[in-house]
Amino acid sequence: CGKKPCQHGGTCWNQLGSYKCACSSGWIGRNCDSQIVRACRSGWREHNSHCYKLMTEKVGWNSANTKCINQRANLASIHSQAEMNFISSLITNAPQGDQPVVWFGLQKRDGAWKWSDRSRMTYTNWAPGEPDGKALWTLFAGEKGHWNDQRCDAGFAFVCK
């Protein structure tokens, strides 16, 4: 156990010429290096150990946020290009005008853009010229998934995570 082989908070016990790991919740494997993938509820899709669902009801941002919370989820936060691509694939069936458009969990609070699930902001995909300061809530729009700020009372589909 001197080399600390147990990952992700696992506890190591020395055994004759070897070791054994007791893994933290959510992890398995000899060195606690494999995350347990929990099955998503019916109608939800899994990506990178998170479950997502496109909600096609057109509502304002605050209502969308409440509806996600009622599903034991949050409006989706996006932390990588891969996650953005996954969410973009979900919205291909969203109610459409010229482009598929959905609410997600980014909002401007106290002068800064923050995720509604309180996770750190590590990735952005703003459309050119955005955010333009016209609103405090964001939309995910179009084939490239560019983000745009929008008034919160406009009705759009939304993605829960």
CA separation for the pair 20, 60 (Å, rounded): 52
pLDDT at res. 93: 59
> Which residues are within 8 A (CB) of 125 and not within 5 positions of it... i.e. 6 or more apart?
78, 81, 84, 144, 145, 146, 147
**CB–CB of 14/6 below 8 Å?**
no
Beta carbons within 10 angstroms of residue 106's beta carbon:
25
Helix, strand, or coil (residue 92): helix
Question: Which two structure tokens, joined as six digits, stand for 155?
Answer: 């009705």
Q: In which residue are the tokens 């001197």 written?
A: 2
pTM of the model: 0.72
pLDDT at res. 95: 55
Q: What are 159's strand-pairing partners?
A: 54
**CB–CB of 132/147 below 8 Å?**
no
Q: Exposed, middle or buried: residue 128 (CB in 10 Å: 0-12, 13-18, 19+)?
A: exposed
Cα Rg of the chain (Å, integer): 20
Query: Which alpha helices (H) appear in 22-152, and where do they start and end?
Result: 61-70, 81-90
- pLDDT tens over the chain, length 161 residues: 888 999 999 999 998 889 999 998 888 999 999 887 668 998 899 888 899 999 989 999 999 999 999 999 999 999 999 999 898 888 875 555 545 788 999 998 888 899 999 998 999 999 899 998 887 778 776 667 889 888 888 888 899 99
CA separation for the pair 82, 108 (Å, rounded): 24
Question: Domains plus CATH for the chain?
Answer: 1-36 (2.10.25.10), 45-160 (3.10.100.10)
pLDDT at res. 146: 86
Question: What phi and psi values does residue 67 have, to the nearest 5 degrees?
Answer: -65, -40
